[in-house]
Structure 1
Amino acid sequence: MQLPYMGGRKGFEDAARLIEHFGANAGYEAALRADRSRDLGNHVHFCHWRQIERLIVQMTVECPTGSVH
């Protein structure tokens, strides 16, 4: 899995907020927000929420990913 690019702290805060409010369904909520943004033609928010969806997966995985030194 490729690590998501985050351009600032806001992405981490959004992901943490969704995990806090939606628990195991946080990724689904991020996907819904991305779909809603796409339907409204807002490509910037669409990309943001897709990255949040990927970040939530990374934050909730139990085993290490990527290089371990």
Structure 2
Amino acid sequence: MDSLFISGPAAVADAAQLIETYGDDAGLEAAARAEKSRSNDNIHRFCHWRQIERMIAAFARQDVSGTVH
């Protein structure tokens, strides 16, 4: 089972902003930002945008993941 880590409200806000702006291409935009950060040797921002990319993918899933209460 995959688990999703959300570092805080800023991460959710970034994901929501990308989804609002880019729609179905939001994950691709997050990946592009991660690669740009990696190219600039900014590991902190690279990890941030990779997390956002995974979050967007999780939000788009139709099936249930994890514990359901």
Q: Which residue of 2 aligns with 1:47?
A: 47
- SS at the partner of 1:2? coil
C-alpha displacement at 1:4, in angstroms? 2.4
Q: Aligned partners of 1:13, 1:3: CA distance in 2, in Å?
A: 19
Q: Which residue of 2 aligns with 1:37?
A: 37
Give percent identity, aligned residues only: 46
Task: State the AA in 2 paired with 1:12.
Answer: V
- SS at the partner of 1:28? helix
Q: Which residue of 1 aligns with 2:67?
A: 67
Q: Which residue of 2 aligns with 1:16?
A: 16
- SS at the partner of 1:31? helix
Aligned length: 69
Which consecutive unaligned segments of at least 5 residues does structure 2 have?
none
Which consecutive unaligned segments of at least 5 residues does structure 1 have?
none
Task: State the AA in 2 paired with 1:64.
Answer: V
C-alpha displacement at 1:44, in angstroms? 0.2
C-alpha displacement at 1:54, in angstroms? 0.3
